[in-house]
Amino acid sequence: MPKPRLPRLVIATHNRKKGGEMIQILSERFPNLEFRTLADYPNAPEPEETGSTYAENATIKAESAAKATGEWSLADDAGLEIDALDGEPGLRSKRFAGEDTPFPEKMRRILELLEVVPNQRRTARFRCCVALCPPPQATSHKRQATSVFEATCEGRIARKPSGAGGFGYDPIFSLPERGCTMAELTAEEKHAVSHRGKVLRTLGDFLEANFELGDA
């Protein structure tokens, strides 16, 4: 039986930086696949993230986008887990210290909480789940269920922000083996080691194994 064709993929986010990063990673591997974001669908809703896990939140967003756009849709949910803070901010990473609080202020607050914590106890990780959901018209396909993938990137919380690359908490996420923060890496270097880069490689393997990608 021939593989089903997947001509395009909707990245289910209104976040330009996140969407741009995901498209950059995937388009390098799949240059013939058309990518869109929710910015291309003005009426697509922003669903409430009511899940108790990253996987549940990613699934909520992917399924909402697939229903709204009629296209295969991909969503992620990610967070920063700090061991000395019992895994916080975790699922609350975007809402930590208030959803509308700028990330420099969020990072300042985290550094305050960790001020007396020694370097060896500042371990942390980024965790990312992505969910791939078929559109409603594909429900008869044998792979109709939403597929979920997960990856992590281990590191430590730096003593102060450093670097202008990336986004979110990247400036305080230190990679000891590289001697720098995530924000000090080039885009290509970041994609090679980051939680999002890792999980999208796994997703890419799944797409290659199960679909004909791009236009006929």
* Domains along the sequence of the chain with CATH: 5-213 (3.90.950.10)
Cis peptide, bond prior to residue 171, ω within 30 of zero: no
Over residues 18-38, the mean pLDDT reads: 94
Give the per-residue pLDDT at 144.
64
Banded model confidence at residue 14, pLDDT cuts 50, 70, 90: confident
- Using the structure block, give the residue that is written with the tokens 């021939």: 2
Which region among 44-48, 57-61, 67-71 has the lowest average model confidence (pLDDT)?
Answer: 44-48
pLDDT in tens, 177-201: 999 999 999 999 999 999 999 999 9
- Determine which one of 76, 77, 83, 205 is catalytic: 77
pTM above 0.85, yes or no: yes
Residues near 143 by beta carbon (within 8 Å), at least 6 away in sequence: 4, 134, 210
Over residues 91-102, the mean pLDDT reads: 92
Give strand pairing partners of 151.
128
With 60 as the cut, is the pLDDT of residue 216 above it? no
Residues near 184 by beta carbon (within 8 Å), at least 6 away in sequence: 162, 163, 165
CA distances from 141 to 34, 74, 144 (A): 21, 17, 5
Active site residue 77: yes
